[in-house]
């Protein structure tokens, strides 16, 4: 892969896009592998709809949509990019009893649920902004089916086992406002089945917390298993690459690398002039902005409030980061990118501003500029002399960014400086784990290609 010329804008190909960007721009070009749904969807009023598309490699990109057909529409979404068939098989095995359905029915259940919910002012889950691109476009090309939503002609809110009192109150208030007090029904959570099987002395709240903790632990173990598979593959490919392709000089540089060795990592958010406020009242205001985005999903309200907050606190770059998130979740990518660019220009020394701007450059095809974002430096302690501690998630994002930069520049030896740091520092379990998986898979694929090229050349030389 040749280096790009300075200043030239080059469109990234599909292998170089972030998973989210790939899904948004390329997923619909992949053939649909299958569509599945839980067997009892018609009687339960809850549909788990799985839509999977297959890459030429055999890997799979999929989304799982939890559709409340009685009231709330798409309550939850999980999507994954370019997973191997074994991972996908495990997902299906862990799910409910599945029925195979055609795509038209899957599409109508999902979009019909969204349309019904929007009639009562309920929006789909925030991740639908990405996962909708795994579906076909919602237009006249997809046959419209007559499906029943609601229960007995009215919206019916079925309280979920983890719906806290505040959430219940908000949903009820919304239904009273949009449907009318007597024009909807509610079914409260029924704990009798749990009580019959439970012989302990915990309160229901304690039981829910224990169950939630077990679910979180299961998810963590699944992530560990996923990364274990990827790391195992990397180790095998690295051994072959070192033996056949890598030069002795490059091996020595990698062995003596100091990337990440001169600072410590912490899970704490480090206080800086960009995110520190004067008193508890101002701190609470920031938490309110975050709640509007990440908990309540009130993106328009968050955008308006954040613009006012930026006027009051123009030097607090964290507000602009939240505004960028609000634009992303509100499906306004152009405004999100404008905010990222403005934040970087106003606060070029702010690490989060650098990270966001670098990621944006990848997406718009200007990755050759990324090394300048990091001031031409090769590690965080060079960019910020004297700093001995960095946030783990930010470090993970930085290593991924530099690794992607050097992969695209065709310098796999330099890319491995950062891949080795990701593995050594074990920062592949951070919030940016989707991007870490992507860059691990990407460097593995590029090395495989280099190994095959070496073997082909060696065979040709024999003849």
Give the model's pLDDT for residue 100: 93
Q: What is the mean pLDDT of residues 375-401?
A: 90
What confidence tier does 209 reach under pLDDT thresholds 50, 70, 90? Answer: low
What confidence tier does 444 reach under pLDDT thresholds 50, 70, 90? Answer: confident
Q: Which of 30, 22, 73 is nearest to 52 (CA)?
A: 30
Give the model's pLDDT for residue 408: 87
> Does the pLDDT value for residue 204 go beyond 50?
no
Question: Could you tell me what percent of the chain has a pLDDT over 90?
Answer: 39
Q: What is the mean pLDDT of residues 300-321?
A: 91
- What are the extents of the domains in the chain? 31-192, 215-456
Give the model's pLDDT for residue 320: 92
Give the model's pLDDT for residue 2: 35
Which token pair is 17? 């896009």
Is the pTM for the entire model greater than 0.85?
no
3-state secondary structure of 182: coil
The owner of tokens 């694929």 is 445
The whole-angstrom separation of Cα 121 and Cα 179 is: 10
SS in 3 state form for 117-180? HHCCCCCCCCCHHHHHHHCCCCCCCCCCCCCCCCECCECEEECCCCCCHHHHHHHHHHHHHHCC
> Does the pLDDT value for residue 17 go beyond 70?
no
- On whether the CB atoms of residues 134 and 79 are closer than 8 A, the answer is yes
Convert the pLDDT of each residue in 261-273 to its tens digit. Answer: 999 998 887 888 8
The whole-angstrom separation of Cα 38 and Cα 41 is: 6
Which token pair is 36? 């599945």
Q: What is the mean pLDDT of residues 224-251?
A: 81
> Does the pLDDT value for residue 119 go beyond 50?
yes
Provide the pairing of β-strand 264-266 with 185-187.
unpaired
Q: What is the mean pLDDT of residues 396-423?
A: 91
Lowest pLDDT segment from 198-212, 289-303, 381-395, 413-427: 198-212
**Cross-strand partners of 194:** none
Give the model's pLDDT for residue 367: 86
Convert the pLDDT of each residue in 143-201 to its tens digit. Answer: 999 999 999 889 999 887 666 777 788 889 899 999 988 899 988 754 444 334 334 34
> Does the pLDDT value for residue 347 go beyond 90?
yes
DSSP codes of every residue in 351-401: HHHHHHHHHHHHHTT-GGGHHHHTTT-SSHHHHSTT--EEEHHHHHHHHHH
Give the model's pLDDT for residue 161: 65
The whole-angstrom separation of Cα 228 and Cα 109 is: 36
Which token pair is 112? 């019909």
- On whether the CB atoms of residues 71 and 120 are closer than 8 A, the answer is yes
- On whether the CB atoms of residues 417 and 254 are closer than 8 A, the answer is yes
Q: Which of 283, 308, 304 is nearest to 293 (CA)?
A: 304
Residue 315's contacts (CB-CB under 8 Å, 6 or more residues apart) are 273, 274
The whole-angstrom separation of Cα 359 and Cα 248 is: 32
- Helical (H) or strand (E) element with 106: helix 103-118
> Does the pLDDT value for residue 218 go beyond 70?
no
Q: What is the mean pLDDT of residues 108-119?
A: 95
Q: Which CATH superfamily is domain 215-456 in?
A: Tetratricopeptide repeat domain (1.25.40.10)
> Does the pLDDT value for residue 405 go beyond 60?
yes
Positive or negative CA dihedral for 311, 317, 320, 325?
negative
In terms of average pLDDT, the best of 25-29, 229-233, 270-274 is 25-29
């Amino acid at each position: 892969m040749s280096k790009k010329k300075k200043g030239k804008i080059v469109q990234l190909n599909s292998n170089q896009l972030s998973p989210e960007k790939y899904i948004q721009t390329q997923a619909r070009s992949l053939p649909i592998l299958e569509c599945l749904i839980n067997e009892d969807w018609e009687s339960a009023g809850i549909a788990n709809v799985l839509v999977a598309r297959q890459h030429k490699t055999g890997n799979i990109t999929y989304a799982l949509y939890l559709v409340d057909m009685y009231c709330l529409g798409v309550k939850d979404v999980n999507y994954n990019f370019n997973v191997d068939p074994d991972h996908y098989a495990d997902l299906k095995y862990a799910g409910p009893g599945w029925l195979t359905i055609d795509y038209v029915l899957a599409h109508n259940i999902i979009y019909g649920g969204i349309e019904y919910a929007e009639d009562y002012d309920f929006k789909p889950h925030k991740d639908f902004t990405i996962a909708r691109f795994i579906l076909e476009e919602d237009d006249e090309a997809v046959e419209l089916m007559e499906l029943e939503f609601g229960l007995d002609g009215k919206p019916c809110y079925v309280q979920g086992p983890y719906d806290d009192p505040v959430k219940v109150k908000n949903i009820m208030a919304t239904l009273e406002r949009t449907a009318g007090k007597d024009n909807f029904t509610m079914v409260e959570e029924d704990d009798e089945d749990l009580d019959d099987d439970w012989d302990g002395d915990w309160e229901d709240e304690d039981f829910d917390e224990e169950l939630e903790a077990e679910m979180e632990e299961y998810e963590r173990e699944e992530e560990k298993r996923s990364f274990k598979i990827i790391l195992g593959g990397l180790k095998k490919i690295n051994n072959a690459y070192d033996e056949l392709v890598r030069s002795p000089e490059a091996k020595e540089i990698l062995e003596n690398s100091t990337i990440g060795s001169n600072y410590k990592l912490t899970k704490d958010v480090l206080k800086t002039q960009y995110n520190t406020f004067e008193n508890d009242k101002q701190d609470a205001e920031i938490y309110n902005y975050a709640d509007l985005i990440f908990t309540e999903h009130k993106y328009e309200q968050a955008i308006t409030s954040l613009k006012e907050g930026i006027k009051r606190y123009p030097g607090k770059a964290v507000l602009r980061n939240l505004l960028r998130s609000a634009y992303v979740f509100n499906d306004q990518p152009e405004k999100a990118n404008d905010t990222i660019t403005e934040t970087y220009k106003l606060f070029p020394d702010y690490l989060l501003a650098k990270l966001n701007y670098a990621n944006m450059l990848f997406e718009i095809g200007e990755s050759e500029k990324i090394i300048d974002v990091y001031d031409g430096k090769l590690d965080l302690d060079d960019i910020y002399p004297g700093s001995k501690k960095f946030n783990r998630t930010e470090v993970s994002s930085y290593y991924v960014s530099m690794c992607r930069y050097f992969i695209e520049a065709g310098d796999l030896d330099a890319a491995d400086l950062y891949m080795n740091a990701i593995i050594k520092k074990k920062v592949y379990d951070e919030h940016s784990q989707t991007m870490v998986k992507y860059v691990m898979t990407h460097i593995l694929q590029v090395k495989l290609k280099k190994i095959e090229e070496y073997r082909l050349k060696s065979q040709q030389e024999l003849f």
